[in-house]
């Protein structure tokens, strides 16, 4: 019985890429307001050179449009995900929708504003009331990566069944299966460790709000989730290596 794990390796790669993407920007910065963490530099420089209603409105619109682009990209990631659960996807899509609606309303306020002090307050709200980059982006990426780790559990269950059958057959034939069994046990232990780390993360991440971030409680949760997910991905990779080692040990018994 041949052990097949390319799909599992692909799932590991997906989880890793999502993890690291969550810590970085979504895209490069241009003056037209793309998705990404970098501020609209040209519009910001114009305001610094001499604030006016028009310049502040241009800056605010650029920053909101930049977030719109990011939200669209995040929504597409959720839709195309092969591992995110339907419940998690629905929760995140709802959050993205409400964030977009709030930013749309704020944009209308900015466009109608005629006071420079009021515009400064409104523009501050773009970040503080919605927290697209510091909250929504990591919520999507880390939840997706967590679900990817959990989705690998079924693959490891299949691998365990196949390898356990091969070990039993080899043992019945009088072969010394000690090394193979140790590798299989290590695989199962690593898989269990990964699941234990990843399972609680969506429940911790999804309820977070901009108010939680502003109050200082969300940031540490996100940081801890990144660390736990990094360990979980490392455990999944270790489980893949253990599965391969078990297969190699079994081949050596022939």
Work out the percent of the chain whose per-residue pLDDT is above 70: 85
Residues recorded for the chain: 254
Task: Using the predicted structure, report yes or no on whether residue 85 has a pLDDT greater than 60.
Answer: yes
Do 125 and 106 contact (CB within 8 A), yes or no? yes
Q: Record the pTM.
A: 0.84
Closest CA to 143 of 93, 63, 84: 84
Could you tell me the pLDDT band of residue 38, with boundaries at 50, 70 and 90?
confident
Give mean pLDDT, residues 224-229: 97
pLDDT tens-place string over residues 101-120: 999 999 999 999 999 999 99
Which residue reads 């028009």 in tokens? Answer: 54
Q: How far apart are alpha carbons 139 and 94 in whole angstroms?
A: 13
Other residues' Cβ atoms within 10 Å of the Cβ of residue 206: 16
Q: How far apart are alpha carbons 125 and 62 in whole angstroms?
A: 14
Closest CA to 99 of 214, 206, 222, 210: 210
Q: How far apart are alpha carbons 207 and 187 in whole angstroms?
A: 33
Do 184 and 205 contact (CB within 8 A), yes or no? no
Return the SS3 of 150: helix
pLDDT at residue number 21: 36
């Amino acid at each position: 019985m041949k052990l097949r794990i390319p799909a599992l390796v692909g799932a590991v790669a997906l989880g890793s890429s999502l993890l690291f993407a969550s810590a970085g920007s979504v895209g490069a910065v241009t003056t037209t307001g793309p998705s990404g963490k970098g501020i609209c530099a040209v519009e910001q420089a114009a305001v610094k050179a001499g604030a006016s209603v028009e310049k502040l409105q241009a800056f605010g619109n650029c920053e909101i449009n930049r977030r719109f682009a990011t939200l669209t990209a995040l929504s597409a990631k959720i839709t195309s995900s092969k591992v995110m659960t339907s419940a998690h996807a629905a929760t995140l899509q709802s959050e993205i929708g409400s964030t977009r609606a709030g930013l749309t309303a704020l944009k209308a306020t900015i466009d109608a504003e005629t006071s420079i002090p009021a515009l400064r307050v409104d523009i501050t709200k773009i970040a503080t009331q919605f927290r697209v980059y510091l909250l929504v982006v990591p919520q999507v990426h880390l939840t997706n990566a967590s679900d990817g780790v959990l989705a690998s559990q079924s693959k490891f269950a299949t691998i365990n069944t196949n390898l356990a059958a091969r070990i039993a057959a080899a043992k019945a034939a009088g072969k010394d299966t000690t090394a193979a069994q140790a590798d299989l046990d290590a695989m199962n232990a690593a898989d269990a460790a990964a699941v234990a780390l990843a399972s609680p993360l969506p429940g911790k991440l999804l309820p977070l709000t901009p108010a939680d971030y502003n109050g200082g409680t969300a940031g540490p949760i996100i940081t801890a989730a990144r660390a736990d997910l990094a360990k979980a991905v490392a455990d999944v990779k270790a489980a893949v290596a253990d599965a391969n080692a078990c297969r190699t040990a079994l081949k050596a018994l022939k």
